[in-house]
Structure 1
Amino acid sequence: MELSYDEEAVFLRRVNRFVVEVRSSRGVVRCHLMDTGRIDHLATPGGRGVLIEWLRRLGGKTVCRVQAFKTGEGVVAVVDSRVPNRVFAEAVPTVFGGDAVVEAEREVLGSRLDFLIATGRGLWAVEVKGVNLSVGGVGLFPNAPSARAVKHLEVLARLAREGVKPLMAFVALRPDIEAFAPNYRVDRRFASLACSLLKQGLVNMLGIRVLIDLEPGLVRIRPAGVAPVSCLPHRDGR
């Protein structure tokens, strides 16, 4: 999949969960941020590397959208919350085989799922999580406490008891992630529940690696295979 951007701006500050302030060719402006998690591992005040797209419809509180950050090491990290599901959809043939029948945003047993996937091996309920925090090549999720992610695990566990095969898929949003793990340091509740369900065999988990190519005005993201999810505590997960 592709994301377009118009220029590389300078990060100034985060105004609130959804808005950041940047210095651009049009001066200091406010941009919409679609990722409500932490970004301090991606951007520092005064640093370049904010890839922004100007909004075509003006009149709101923001005039642009942040598509991605370039870290100080030059790694492109996507922060568009729509990307994980799109990348996962592209990876479905690799994960489930070419005969998989995919339905997005499907309600099952009173819960709305990211995907419902029918295969010769049964019916799979899938929740997708994007990962943009990397420590030593390990993608850690979440990067901020997430009650919503805990709820999704509880839903998947309940579906497992009803005979549906549950899967939580972690999609890398930067190309330097080679493996995945729950972030014990940031959200012990999520990490403990995730690993308990994984060890019991109630919820399946896997990671999707990506390749990201940066071209003038364009960020190309494509799946690059699956990766393991480990339950070893990672002490450096900020």
Structure 2
Amino acid sequence: MRYERIRPGRFLDRPNRFIAHVEVDGTVQVCHVKNTGRCKELLRPGATVYVEGAAPGSARKTQFDLVAVEKGPLLINLDSQAPNRAAGEFLRAGGLFGPPALVRPETKWGTSRFDFYVEAGGQKIFVEVKGVTLEQDGLALFPDAPTQRGVRHLEELAACLQQGYRAAALFVIQMKGVRAFAPNEETHPAFAAALRSARDAGVALYAMDCRVQPDCMELDAPVPILL
């Protein structure tokens, strides 16, 4: 998963969840933030960030997208679309389930819509992907804000099992260097409870870290899950 026209910048402020002011090449630019989460622990004044320039001739109102930030020794991808893009590449390459016969994104089942439907090894599998950008003391945590939508996704994955499908939740940790992943019990205890219930029902849980560069991100290695 690769970006074009990447440039470093210095984060200044974030007037709202959609835009940020970033100093790029000595000029203050209004940048689109590709993550509507809070990210308060990441987007601090003076932080080194990386932005992707718009395509030449673009009529966009903002000419840059903010896609990554440095947090101490960590380089963290902030793009909320990146986990699905990287997970799609990983699944198509045979990650998690072996060489697939089919990988289909955004697949509807009943009243639900899951990130991926995979057929591999004679099995039919629904996969829901969650991007993780919150890190505390080497622990990757999700969510960074309460998410009833996330709870619903876990419940719906468990429901798929009753009709013979496999189901999996894949947490894509958008950085390298964490020791483990855990649900953010303090921020949303209901999500932590739903994750444990999904595990007990038979939903497969995966957490993968990523190799991150300013201009790319790819899934790399499994990370222990602490429930």
Instruction: Give me the TM-score of the superposition, normalised by structure 1.
Output: 0.86
1:76 partner letter: L
1:222 partner letter: E
**What is the Cα deviation at residue 138 of structure 1?**
2.1
Tell me the equivalent position of 2:169.
Answer: 168
Name stretches of at least 5 consecutive residues in structure 2 with no aligned partner. none
Quote the Cα distance in structure 1 between the aligned partners of 2:155 and 2:183: 15
**What is the Cα deviation at residue 121 of structure 1?**
5.0
Quote the Cα distance in structure 2 between the aligned partners of 1:177 and 1:3: 24
Tell me the equivalent position of 2:77.
Answer: 78
Structure 2 counterpart SS, 1:4: coil
**What is the Cα deviation at residue 137 of structure 1?**
2.5
Tell me the equivalent position of 2:97.
Answer: 96
Contact 2:99–2:120 (Cα < 8 Å) also in 1: no
What percentage of residue pairs aligned between the two structures are identical?
31
Quote the Cα distance in structure 2 between the aligned partners of 1:163 and 1:6: 45
In the alignment, is residue 225 of structure 1 matched against residue 225 of structure 2?
no
Q: How does 1:199-214 map to 2 (within 5 A)?
A: 200-214=200-214
Contact 1:213–1:220 (Cα < 8 Å) also in 2: yes
How well do the aligned residues superpose, as a CA RMSD in angstroms?
A: 1.8
Tell me the equivalent position of 2:190.
Answer: 189
Q: 1:59 to 1:138 in 2, by over 3 A?
A: closer
Quote the Cα distance in structure 2 between the aligned partners of 1:6 and 1:223: 20
**What is the Cα deviation at residue 70 of structure 1?**
1.3
**What is the Cα deviation at residue 101 of structure 1?**
2.2
Contact 1:159–1:165 (Cα < 8 Å) also in 2: yes
Quote the Cα distance in structure 2 between the aligned partners of 1:6 and 1:119: 36
Quote the Cα distance in structure 1 between the aligned partners of 2:139 and 2:163: 33
Tell me the equivalent position of 1:32.
Answer: 32
The count of aligned residue pairs is: 223
Tell me the equivalent position of 1:149.
Answer: 150
Tell me the equivalent position of 1:234.
Answer: none
Q: How does 1:10-21 map to 2 (within 5 A)?
A: 10-21=10-21
Q: 1:5 to 1:189 in 2, by over 3 A?
A: farther
Tell me the equivalent position of 2:54.
Answer: 55
How big is each residue's C-alpha offset from its partner over 1:191-236, in whole Å with a ceiling of 9 and x where there is no partner? 11111221x233221111211234xxxx2322212223221xxxxx
Tell me the equivalent position of 2:116.
Answer: 115
Name stretches of at least 5 consecutive residues in structure 1 with no aligned partner. 232-238
Contact 1:88–1:208 (Cα < 8 Å) also in 2: no
Moved more, 120-129 or 48-57: 48-57
